Amino acid sequence: MDYDYLVLALGAHGNDFGINGVREHCYTLDSYEQAEDFHLGLLNRFLQFSETATQQEKVKVAIVGGGATGVELAAELYYTVDRLEQFGVHKIRHQTLDVTLIEATDRILPILPEDLSRKAEKTLTDLGAKIKTNVMVKGVQENLLLTEHESIEADLIVWAAGVQAPAFLSQQNLPTNRINQLEVQSTLQVKGQQNIYAIGDCAFLLQDNQRPVPATAQAAHQMAKTCASNICSQINKQTLQTFTYHDHGALISLSHFQALGNLLDQLLKRNWMVEGKVARMAYASLYRQHQYALHGFWKTFWLWLVNLMEKRIKPKLKLY
Phi and psi (nearest 5°) for 244? -125, 120
The DSSP result for 225-249, as a single string, is HHHHHHHHHHHTT-PPPPP-----E
User: Residue 85: its pLDDT value, please?
Assistant: 83
Q: How confident is the model at residue 265 (pLDDT cuts 50, 70, 90)?
A: low
* Each residue's pLDDT tens digit, 108-134: 998 888 888 999 999 999 999 999 999
Residues 6+ apart with CB under 8 A from 49: 57, 59, 91, 92, 96
- Report percent pLDDT > 70 for the chain: 97
Domains along the chain?
Answer: 6-13+164-235 (3.50.50.60), 22-159 (3.50.50.60)
Predicted pLDDT at 250: 86
Least confident piece of the model among 87-96, 113-122, 266-275: 266-275
What local confidence, expressed as pLDDT, does residue 268 receive? 52
Residue 275 has pLDDT above 90, yes or no: no
Model confidence band, residue 52 (pLDDT cutoffs 50, 70, 90):
confident
Q: Residue 208's pLDDT is what?
A: 87
pTM across the whole model: 0.87
**What are the strands, taking DSSP E only, across the chain?**
6-8, 59-64, 97-102, 130-132, 137-141, 144-147, 151-153, 156-159, 182-183, 196-198, 203-204, 249-254, 258-265, 270-275
pLDDT of residue 256: 84
Q: Render pLDDT for 144-176 as a digit per residue (tens, 0 to 9).
A: 999 998 999 999 999 999 999 999 999 999 999
Whole-number Å distance between alpha carbons of 305 and 292? 14
Q: Quote the mean pLDDT of the chain.
A: 91
